[in-house]
Structure 1
């Protein structure tokens, strides 16, 4: 498992194929904001509850894991096409050459994003115990979907 503290500037961070430009500027539609997930060519943008440093974990798996939503406030799933051999994980304003890299085989992957602690933010929104867990495994492409909707 890979563990990170990412600066979620603009309430988001990216997971992207190193071989793509990761441009998600047109992907953050109203629908994407509501599901807290934007998807573009070779890139996934994960929405966050805070625009501060947030804990993120990433797991690369060989097969689809069991769907366990009990401990999470929100969950989404999408596809990510990887052409290169590394994923970049970074805040959207991070300097990408310095961002963390995760070795990966090229191919089509499913990305399941779990969001926890979304209701733990301080009144000013700067502190909280929100956390984000990503699981990836080889799978055929799908349209982005919400598996568990965050309570309003």
Structure 2
């Protein structure tokens, strides 16, 4: 089995979100952010996914591309969601919503349909002013048929 392609990034999550998208995508997420998608911190279009973040700051993101579905290691994560996106070009972009796309990180990828697993950790670690935190976002992609959005591990919020 081949090792997955792995890239570590620091993405400016302006408006508390960043995108993973086909380089050719030009989708509007204005109507994709419903109450349900805000709660799961994931909005999805045909060629891209918007990942909601705990902070409106630069956040750590790790993206890996796998030949098949990676092992399920949900216990250590605050929340895990999955969605599907289609890739028409041969390039995936990871960018904040206000980033200048020509400068955004790119990952070569074969055209096709992919499953995207988003794992979130440290969501409750923010400083009082919301600037500092240990939030972390892992994206895992693998070739798979189109499928519905799935909440694989729901976030549990501690009672005050």
Fold agreement, TM-score > 0.5: yes
Q: Paired residue for 1:59, among 49, 57, 64?
A: 64
Which residue does 1:72 correspond to in 2? 77
Which residue does 2:33 correspond to in 1? 28
Question: TM-score w.r.t. structure 2 length?
Answer: 0.93
Which residue does 1:86 correspond to in 2? 91
**Structure 2 Cα separation of the partners of residues 26 and 13 of structure 1:** 16
Q: CA RMSD, aligned part only?
A: 0.8
* Cα deviation digits, residues 28-58 of structure 1 (max 9, x gap): 1111101100001201000000000100000
Q: How many residues align?
A: 152
Which residue does 2:3 correspond to in 1? none
Q: Contact 1:108 / 1:138 at 8 angstroms: preserved in 2? A: yes
Question: TM-score w.r.t. structure 1 length?
Answer: 0.97
Residue 115 of structure 1 pairs with residue 120 of structure 2: yes
Q: Structure 1: where are the runs of 5+ without partners? A: none
Q: Structure 2: where are the runs of 5+ without partners? A: 1-5
**Structure 1 Cα separation of the partners of residues 35 and 53 of structure 2:** 15
Q: Contact 1:24 / 1:43 at 8 angstroms: preserved in 2? A: no
Q: Could you tell me how far 1:97 is from its partner in structure 2?
A: 1.1
Q: Paired residue for 1:135, among 129, 140, 154?
A: 140
Larger Rg: 2
Which residue does 2:51 correspond to in 1? 46
